[in-house]
Chains A and B, each alone.
Chain A
Amino acid sequence: MTAWVLGLVLASYAPQQAGSALLDPAREARVQALGKQLRCPMCQGLSIADSSSSAARAQMDKVRELVADGKSDPEIRDYFTSRYGEWALLDPPASGMNLLVWLLPLALLVGGGFAIARTMRRPVPAAEAPAPPTEAERPPSDDPYLEAVRAELRR
């Protein structure tokens, strides 16, 4: 522990290596887009494009190198999944069980929309509740809220 702390004090002024030079704008845009999809191993939640940690910088340099070598996007993603597993992809590929994470929210939306449509058409329990007021029952050309305001002003 003591050695650890001492070591840190010594090490703390040591610079880290700077990142590699950027590519031309078109290819650099690809590098950044790919970087946004890959998960940084040290900082966990962030992408390697966002993180400034050493491991993320190393991986961004690797992405840049692979793009410069003319590798395609799927090839580059494969490069990372073959080392870090599916874990490396921030966007879970839509296949197998992962389909659930993409489809369940949609199912909820559709099911909920269906339920709402059914509720709207449900017959009115006539004894308890009168029909909702229609436009005709109201003073024709105005907002009910404003009517309320006027009513209050009149008092």
Chain B
Amino acid sequence: MISILGTTLVLGGLLAAAFGAVVGIEGGLRHRPNALKIVLGAVTVFLVCMLGANLTMVYALVTHDFSVHYVSQVGSRATPLVYTVVSLWSALEGSILFWGAILAVYVFAFSRAHRNHPPTNPLLALGTMLAVGVFFSFLIAGPANPFGRVTPVPPDGPGPNPLLQNHVLMVIHPPMLYLGYVGMVVPFGIAVAALLRGQLGDAWMAVLRRWTLIPWMFLSVGIVLGSWWAYAVLGWGGYWAWDPVENASFLPWLTATAFLHSAMVQERRHTLKLWTVSLSLGCFLLTILGTFMTRSGVFNSVHSFTQSEIGPTFLVFLGVVLLVSIILIAVRGPLLVPEGNLGSVASRETAILLNNLLFAALTFTVLLGTVFPLVREAFSGVRISVGAPYFNRMAVPLGVAILFLMGVGPSLPWGRASPETLRRQFLVPAAIGVGVVLVCLVAGLRGGLTLLTFGLGGFAGTVTLREMALPVRVRMREQGEPLPQALWRSATRARRRFGGYMVHLGVVLVFVAIAASQSYVVHTTATLKTGERFQLGPYTVQLTGLRNGVDPHRRWTAAEVQVTDGRGRQHLLAPRMNFYERSTDPIGSPAIRSAAFEDFYLTLLAFDQGTPSASFNAWIFPMVSWIWWSLPLFVLGALFAAWPERRRARADAPEPVSVPGKAQSPGAAA
């Protein structure tokens, strides 16, 4: 019953998407405005079918209906309810089904938001997005059908992957990533529409930017939560392993970030159009590639799912999307002629161009490093590894250069800067950057690259804060507004600017936190009998005993330790080893004592019930939690920037605050 219902819904979605895609693209190319109504209907049907199919699956999971193929794979009566619901996306077929639902929600939201636009653009964009919907509903209906019937019906199932039910972060991290991944389909649709029409106007560009910002935000959240999850669950003391799946989420984030910057140049200078649109296409291509990496079983990773049948289908889709993109860029791209030109060497345009170059190089490096083992094996049959040391060596200099540009770019005016402006703009931030390095040196901190990062962090942070504070000060001084009002007004009158700088502050924080936690980490291993203790930095660790426990879905052994920190406060920690029925090596749960400026991180390596004794890995990570605490800045900044401008502000004519490029010189716009 459930199987039939689910399959029917998926097929309905497939039909609706196919119909809407054909009508949309045909209507858009032939300029038939009344096609929009039909496409909007198709989008609604697609949404209803996809949401219905997902709810059907959740119902089957919660009621333990093991006659449904997917439930028999990931369900288990012993699994807690939360993880049962979450197992919707814990394995291959379910995650594709979930993809479909998010896709439908995005397409629907887009169709509602832009139905009042001149219809040609929305028609082409919706048609393209629905064409992607056709592929995904085809995957769900065919190669990755989760609704298959199982006979005889098994009494119970194995439960979801143990790694995925170890921490509550797993409940929110994957949906965030999916929202980021799938959301890139909207900019893709918009970009394809722009290329098909051979023009990209300002209004349509603003739409493209906003719809990139939203998935960008979700990707940021997904990536940061993913690293937090790795840190809190995997127990190796790190948060980023350059694992193929991590890289897969990082790649579209990089291109989307590059896009958000190059879009500013496109807006101010009406140039870089083809490049900007290509970045939009690239974001989507990389999310498809990323999904392929996670789902095909070709790549090896902590969380890649097992070998699967859908790989070849996915590869064909990837090939088709790549081909379409390339043809569009080659054939229609030259139509997007630049209507302006770039400024001089010392200008914000140049800084953003360099930023784009660095982001492109970083994207390429990460992509190359991820697929290179496959390249090597395909061409010479040798298995090699490209791991963290490679990525760090390549990415760290690029990252530091980006941090530097983050201070330089906002200080430079559009167009051209005189030497005097340069001096005025850079003197204080540069002095603060140098000051930070000196203070660190005096405090006894060493390490060239780390101190450089701190110094540049001080530099970029100062520039960002100054740029945020300047309009506030002008308002307070020249208009006599009180601080809160001045702050609020200057923020809301230039949402994108203010939001962007909030994100910049978050990025500075992440850079500093990564540098500190990587460079000044302290580590030791020790084996203790009950009552014995060891010392790491200011922390004293004493083993008080071993404790065993049984949960419905696992057994565990915890080492109970008493940790005394530098100020004499005592904390009870209990790093554990969990034994799941499905995995051979036990999976550790680290215990973390987190403070504002450092984390004490303890994992259980081995234990002996007889003696009793236990072996530990212990680390002190300075500032590591700042990486996760930067998250609100990313989210708030992105939301702030994406929030629609109020109508009133728009009616106030030429929108001086959010388009300073135009306001800066009436002569330039004439």
Contacts and interface: CB of A to CB of B under 8 A. Distances in A.
Interface of A: 5, 8-9, 12-13, 15-19, 22, 32, 36-37, 39, 42-47, 50-54, 57, 85-92, 97-98, 100-101, 104-105, 108-109, 112-113, 116, 119-120, 122, 124-125, 128-130, 132-135, 137-138, 143-153, 155
Given A85-B384, A153-B475, 5 more contacts: A36-B388, A50-B241, A52-B236, A144-B665, A145-B470
Interface of B: 235-238, 241-244, 270, 300-302, 338-345, 347, 350, 353-354, 357, 360-361, 364-365, 368-369, 372, 375-376, 379-380, 382-390, 393-394, 413-418, 421, 470-471, 474-475, 478-479, 490, 493, 497, 523-525, 527, 548, 555, 557, 579, 581, 585-586, 588, 603, 605-609, 613, 615, 617, 652, 656-657, 660-661, 663-665, 667-668, 670
A52 B609 contact: no
Nearest to A93: B384
Contact of B581 (A5, A54, A128): A5
Contacts of A36: 388-389
Nearest to A18: B615
A134 B657 contact: no
A85 B318 CA distance: 32
B609 A13 contact: yes
Contacts of B670: 130
A146 B477 CA distance: 12
A146 B418 contact: no
Contacts of B479: 153
A44 B657 CA distance: 51
A65 B268 CA distance: 63
A13 B417 CA distance: 70
A97 B376 contact: yes
5 contacts: A22-B524, A44-B302, A52-B605, A86-B383, A120-B345
B633 to A, nearest CB: 21
Nearest to B419: A135
B357 A129 contact: no
Contact of A148 (B244, B270, B345, B660): B660
B607 A15 contact: yes
A150 B657 CA distance: 9
B605 A98 contact: no
Given A18-B605, A120-B350, A135-B418, A151 B656 contact: yes
Most A Cβ at <10 Å: residue of B242, B418, B652: B418
Nearest to B579: A12
A112 B398 CA distance: 14
Contacts of B388: 36, 45, 47, 90
A57 B525 CA distance: 12
Nearest to B663: A148
Nearest to A87: B383
Contact of B664 (A47, A53, A129, A148): A148
Contact of B471 (A13, A45, A125, A149): A149
A8 B418 CA distance: 73
Contact of A105 (B394, B416, B418, B609): B394
Contacts of A125: 338, 341
A143 B417 CA distance: 10
Most central of A15, A91, A128 by chain B CB within 10 Å: A15
Contact of B665 (A15, A100, A133): A133
Contacts of B244: 45
B341 A122 contact: yes
A108 B363 CA distance: 11
B236 A151 contact: no
Contacts of B470: 143, 145-146
A128 B387 contact: no
A53 B357 CA distance: 40
Contacts of B527: 18-19
Nearest to B343: A132
A51 B663 CA distance: 57
Contacts of B588: 52
Given A15-B606, A92-B385, A101 B368 contact: yes
Contact of A112 (B357, B368, B386, B581): B357
A133 B664 contact: yes
A112 to B, nearest CB: 4
Contacts of B383: 85-87
Contacts of A130: 667-668, 670
B149 to A, nearest CB: 22
B385 A89 contact: yes
A50 B664 contact: no
A104 B548 CA distance: 53
B364 A149 contact: no
B421 A153 contact: no
Contact of A98 (B376, B490, B608): B376
Contacts of B665: 133, 137-138, 144
Given A15-B607, A149-B657, A132 B341 contact: yes
Contact of A42 (B421, B471, B585, B608): B585
A130 B669 CA distance: 8
Given A51-B236, A119-B342, A149 B490 contact: yes
Nearest to A101: B372
B413 A92 contact: no
A107 to B, nearest CB: 10
Contacts of B369: 101
Contacts of B415: 132-134
Given A13-B557, A86-B384, A133-B668, A105 B660 contact: no
Contact of A155 (B343, B353, B418, B652): B652
A132 B344 contact: yes
B372 A100 contact: yes
Given A12-B579, A92-B384, A101-B368, A134 B390 contact: no
Nearest to A51: B236
Given A50-B236, A153-B478, A147 B386 contact: no
Contact of B609 (A15, A134, A138, A155): A15
B617 A52 contact: yes
Contacts of A129: 270, 339-341
Nearest to A43: B302
A24 B386 CA distance: 31
B268 to A, nearest CB: 10
B663 A90 contact: no
A91 B344 contact: no
Nearest to A133: B665
Given A19-B525, A149-B475, A90 B376 contact: no
A124 B613 CA distance: 76
B386 A92 contact: yes
B339 A104 contact: no
A8 B579 contact: yes
B462 to A, nearest CB: 16
B608 A15 contact: yes
A53 B585 contact: yes
Most buried by B among A46, A124, A145, A151: A145
Q: What are the 9 closest A-B residue pairs judged by CB atoms, nearest first?
A: A90-B387, A144-B664, A12-B579, A133-B665, A91-B389, A18-B615, A148-B663, A135-B418, A132-B415
